Amino acid sequence: MTEFIHRFEPATGAHLPPLLLLHGTGGDENDLLGLGRMISPGSALLSPRGRALEHGMPRFFRRLAEGVFDEDDVRRRALELGDFVADARKRYEIAAPVAVGFSNGANIAAALLLLKPDVLAGAVLLRAMVPLSDPPEAELSGKPVLLLSGQADPIVPSSNSVRLAALLSDAGARVDHKVLPAGHQLSQADVTLARSWIGSVEAKAA
């Protein structure tokens, strides 16, 4: 089994999608549990810690500089994460999760959508960038994706998030891209929009 240090909280509500919580640089398996509980109360929560270290800070893959990714590492670690999710689904008896990723976690979630589309039921990508300069042709027909970008984000250029939205849409995903009056950090608007979006995804699936 591809093992990650992780937290798991079983579902307390019926017919709710499990969430795969993917933290940003320097976070860990505890970082997004509160966010997960806020945006989908009662969902099962699966929250792994990234296994790449940058100056001692956990990440989900290496980077060469700010905004410049080690793309071989992105591919390898996305596949490892996909294997972990597949194993966790059997161990905890959960359905395919909706990824909820922030920053570096959103980038690995986007890579997972492109490299192993069947692993995820959908994704909430918070401050995500295009993870691969030469992505494979993915088949994401109808997969729901919420992409929330910050208008004043100093890390993610607006052109990059627009390109990511187009890339996922072209692969067939049902992308809802919103640009918020925010920077790279999350805001209350992110929580409100993500909660409403997950509610609508649940309603369509029911």
Which CATH number belongs to the domain containing residue 27 in this structure? 3.40.50.1820
pTM exceeds 0.85 for this model? yes
pLDDT at 171 over 60: yes
In a domain, 68, yes or no: yes
Spell out the alpha helix ranges (H) of the chain.
33-39, 71-92, 104-115, 158-170, 188-205
31, 43, 153, 190: the active-site residue: 153
Based on the residue annotation, tell me whether 153 is a catalytic residue of this protein: yes
Asked if the structure places residue 128 within a domain, the reply is: yes
Q: What is the pLDDT of residues 115-137, one digit of tens each?
A: 999 999 999 999 999 999 999 99
184 catalytic, yes or no? Answer: yes
Region 166-173 average pLDDT: 97
Of the listed 40, 43, 47, 103, which one is catalytic? Answer: 103
The β-bridge relationship of strands 45-48 and 57-59 is: unpaired
Question: 103 an active-site residue?
Answer: yes
Residue of 87, 169, 176, 184 marked active site: 184
Report yes or no on 86 lying in a domain. Answer: yes
Tell me if 25 is assigned to some domain. Answer: yes
Would you say residue 30 lies in a domain? Answer: yes
Q: What band does 65 get if pLDDT is binned at 50, 70 and 90?
A: confident
Query: Would 1 be classed as within a structural domain?
Result: no
As a whole number, mean pLDDT of residues 36-59 equals 97
What is the tens place of the pLDDT at every residue in 106-115?
999 999 999 9
Domain count, the chain: 1
Which domain range does residue 67 map to? Answer: 6-205
